[in-house]
Structure 1
């Protein structure tokens, strides 16, 4: 059970500072841009794959990557995703995580509807249940994290730990891609990108805080380098996922895995949920299981995947 004082504290905070509500429309607009960007990028990738005559499900080659830059749909989609990131960061600047982060799951719903309309198909019942599970699981997970957690200063030791973890993750995922790319499915690329973007979100937040506090040292530069390398590899995995899976499946994986990894880093490395009660630990496990189950079910039952 949630403690009543947790909700009363949140309510009183919004009453004292109503400007926090500004983040709601910003997050919704960001979700719309994310869904549109995913749809346009997916169209660009599929057209490049078709025109090149080379199957991209095992990874886009260099020639296909260059062709993406000449596809207006892909370029437009990339610009829209840039706008999505800008709106989401702006929303977090005004509003707390509990209010903004669950709204990102709106992108999954919008993308599913758009994709169904564009390809003139109807989502089957298992797909609808899977999407609902993704949205509900993420909302519950982030809500619990906001109730029992709290931001703490990131020390140099914590930051080095995060960078080491990121390095290990990038190496493992790269090796997995190189050795198993011929057998890898869309789900591998989606989960890999979600894990990487969880680190990217954490590092981006740290870098912004350090720049604001005029603490731009060698460690901050190293964070920027790690962030750019991770973002590049994550983007490559996303584009490859578009060639082997529908855009709503890609968005489902990102909106589920990304925030969970970011929250997990905060809990494990930054100790932001120290002293969390038992109900919170159980809630994290249940919410995470529901959301991840939804992604796997969508990958299994989506009409385009079955076709």
Structure 2
């Protein structure tokens, strides 16, 4: 039987101070800015593609140069930077379990805004795909935040993460080079999400080392890894914009990114040492549900279906 004292103790554990509660609207506002910034970036890429006569995900150096002179793309990129700062601000105020799931708001906002801009209706399969993403990532991050335990990261663990990033980066680069003419939006979305997952993990390490005064050669290597992953992942994001709708791009960044970051924490950094077996099963099921939602969104999105019909007619 649940006693009133037990409920009171639980309430005291999950209650937020006014300063912590401020992180909630900041995180929501950051998600909205992320959504709108993605929409502007998508418009910039689409305009550059149209003006250069290119088709598909093929952004060369000339087109990249045109992007940085396109106002809509510059505005969108600036908004994404603001969104990242707002997310860091929110995380500094409120617990991860409160803030992180709110980033999925960007997926909903982007889907609605893009439907209005592109003048198409969100059909049932698309809405269900978005719900799968939201439900899966919400459960995954919540369980991870409850049971994850942070430990001081040893140099050997950090070197392992850096080596994994190198292997993953080379693998993705070779896969893109080999199949770049046939690569779809879902490939670029997942590739960018994987790389950004490493960025989150390494930035967490860098910030911790800077605040503790432990800034040495390995920290510099981490910063180089972050810069490389951001550049590589950013290019994949632009290719995803060139071959898919913005809500699919957001789905990859808000679903794959945290899944990869938590997976690194569990397998390499030992943050799941105190996690019960049932929670590990929930990890797998929730992560699978979220990724399934991304694939379903790529399969059923009205814009991608319309694009496929046009290509088939040609």
- 1:164 aligned onto 2:133: no
What does residue 78 of structure 2 align with? Answer: 79
What does residue 108 of structure 2 align with? Answer: 109
Q: For residues 15 and 246 of structure 1, what CA distance do their matches in structure 2 show?
A: 39
What does residue 179 of structure 1 align with? Answer: 178
**8 Å Cα contact 1:34-1:107 kept in structure 2:** yes
- Which region of structure 1 is more displaced relative to structure 2, 64-73 or 12-21? 12-21
What is the TM-score normalised by the length of structure 2? 0.93
Aligned-partner SS, 1:184? coil
What does residue 3 of structure 2 align with? Answer: none
Shift in Å at residue 19 of structure 1? 2.4
Q: For residues 119 and 273 of structure 1, what CA distance do their matches in structure 2 show?
A: 43
What is the TM-score normalised by the length of structure 1? 0.95
**Aligned alpha-carbon RMSD (Å):** 1.7
How many residue pairs get aligned? The number is: 302
Cα deviation digits, residues 184-208 of structure 1 (max 9, x gap) = 1000000000000000011111111
**8 Å Cα contact 1:14-1:20 kept in structure 2:** no
What does residue 40 of structure 1 align with? Answer: 40
- 1:191 aligned onto 2:177: no
**8 Å Cα contact 2:149-2:273 kept in structure 1:** no
What does residue 55 of structure 1 align with? Answer: 55
Shift in Å at residue 253 of structure 1? 1.1
What does residue 210 of structure 1 align with? Answer: 209
Q: For residues 273 and 11 of structure 1, what CA distance do their matches in structure 2 show?
A: 25
Q: CA 1:93 to 1:7, structure 2 compared with 1: closer, same or farther past 3 Å? A: farther
Aligned-partner SS, 2:22? helix
**8 Å Cα contact 2:148-2:274 kept in structure 1:** no
Unaligned runs of at least 5 residues, structure 2: 1-5, 307-314
Cα deviation digits, residues 154-173 of structure 1 (max 9, x gap) = 11111111100000000000
Shift in Å at residue 15 of structure 1? 3.6
Aligned-partner SS, 1:116? helix
Shift in Å at residue 56 of structure 1? 4.4
Cα deviation digits, residues 127-182 of structure 1 (max 9, x gap) = 00000110110000001101111222111111111100000000000000100101
- 1:20 aligned onto 2:23: no
Larger Rg, first or second structure (1 or 2): 2
Q: For residues 213 and 264 of structure 2, what CA distance do their matches in structure 1 show?
A: 24
Cα deviation digits, residues 70-93 of structure 1 (max 9, x gap) = 100000000000000000001111
Q: For residues 7 and 234 of structure 2, what CA distance do their matches in structure 1 show?
A: 37
Q: For residues 7 and 98 of structure 2, what CA distance do their matches in structure 1 show?
A: 12
Shift in Å at residue 247 of structure 1? 0.1
**8 Å Cα contact 2:196-2:233 kept in structure 1:** yes
Q: CA 1:75 to 1:9, structure 2 compared with 1: closer, same or farther past 3 Å? A: farther
Shift in Å at residue 213 of structure 1? 1.1
Q: For residues 234 and 44 of structure 2, what CA distance do their matches in structure 1 show?
A: 14
What does residue 312 of structure 2 align with? Answer: none
Q: For residues 265 and 193 of structure 2, what CA distance do their matches in structure 1 show?
A: 16
What does residue 29 of structure 1 align with? Answer: 29
Q: For residues 253 and 294 of structure 2, what CA distance do their matches in structure 1 show?
A: 10
What does residue 3 of structure 1 align with? Answer: none
